[in-house]
Structure 1
Amino acid sequence: LTVLYLLLIWLGNRCMRNRPALSLRGILTLYNLGITLLSAYMLAELILSSWEGGYNLQCQDLTSAGEADIRVARVLWWYYFSKLIEFLDTIFFVLRKKTSQITFLHVYHHASMFNIWWCVLNWIPCGQSFFGPTLNSFIHVLMYSYYGLSVFPSMHRHLWWKKYLTQAQLVQFLLTITHTMSAVVRPCGFPFGCLIFQSSYMMTLVILFLNFYIQTYRKKPMKKAMEEAGKEVKNGFSKAYFSAANGVMSKKAQ
């Protein structure tokens, strides 16, 4: 399925090269609403099942919670399934010709999460594995609500909080690393290798998302400001100079 996903991106971009971009407003509205509701369900169910099972937040093994472990595993199956559905994020970018959105970060994140969660469901489908999806489901409620609203041009002026979504994602990854490493420091029987892999993978996401944040919200505004400053000082004069000069001339005219 991952190979098919990558192939569809490549073929889709080639097919759309000489075709007009599709709007897909109705489909995107329903899609984003669906993912938001599914994420809200998973968030609530993971919190309730882990609470009722008496999960230890510091470290939780795979077998001690009984029925709660089975309940968590059922939710994590839906979480895994949601990663398959989210392949459509990229397909919609292709059909709308939003190629600038199809970055290495985007494809790496989508492709890797689907495969990692296949492994989780097969070997560690409960216990310590519940924490990351709980945080991620909360983030996805916010994120897909944002995406759903962004479909409507009239809502764009209200969507000033995109930057804070990226910040929230970074906090999510750091909290997951902290939670995972706490089980390394004080083990409870959860597989050690899985904890190390989880922390290592999360670090790759921290690096990639931090780079995205810096490029998008730090360097671009600085570059734009420098370009505007360059335009202002063209021919040796700036807007500030002309403003001051006009003020002086106005006073002289009076």
Structure 2
Amino acid sequence: MRVEIDGISKSYVDSAGAPLHVVGGLTASIEQGEFVCIIGPSGCGKSTLLGMLGGLLPPDAGTIRFSGDRTATGEMTSIVWQDYALIPWRSIIDNVAFGLEVRGVGKQERKAIAQGYLETMGIGAFANAQPKQLSGGMRQRAGIARALASDPEVLLMDEPFAAVDAQTRTLLQEELLTVWENHRKTVIFITHGIEEALLLADRVLVLSGRPTKVVEDLKVPFARPRTADIAQTPEFGELKQHLWERLRDATRAAEWAEVEGANS
């Protein structure tokens, strides 16, 4: 499913009652089946953008369209959060089946669908476990399985591997790529990791500081399938350095803007 973002803006009111402009006139497009990573300065509005894409927040201005004429609904998108967001008193399989249950899918059918995605994520044997019995990596696998079980047209991911150790993160990245190559969902993935973005994405969008907008749209040239080994190539190192410089410049510009705003 193609996602078209046309000049969206979003503001909040800060603790002093002044407007806080978070997203400002942001425009981008994501093609059907494309894997796009988003990086930007801390606090620039990446999660706010994801919330608008998921239909959780309305933009103050501009439009978001799916395949030209539809706005986001709960059935069109699923979000994988950084903190797993599993219901602690439900088994893993019941967590994965939760969205299907809300939609009224029968118990036997939703259990079968949930079990299938748990198998896909390599944790089928833990279907009846409680979230507290699983490691962080296994809980995030369950979170991805839950998102996929709803069969969304667009999968939104908000720094989903930030809370796991480096080894588990590498494994999850490779597993996610395998799942994506098999299902070819449109994926919009927020990350602070430049290496992660270059490993996973077809394109990387670099955002500015607040009010955020796209300052670079980089097409990643590496062939698929990919593994973490590509990080050792000179081409990868050059792109990583280029993105770091763009991100560093965006971060410094955001810091200066905050200082100037505080002094004005």
- After TM superposition, the score normalised by the length of structure 1 is 0.30
Larger-Rg structure = 1
Q: Which has the higher strand share?
A: 2
Q: Which has the higher helix share?
A: 1
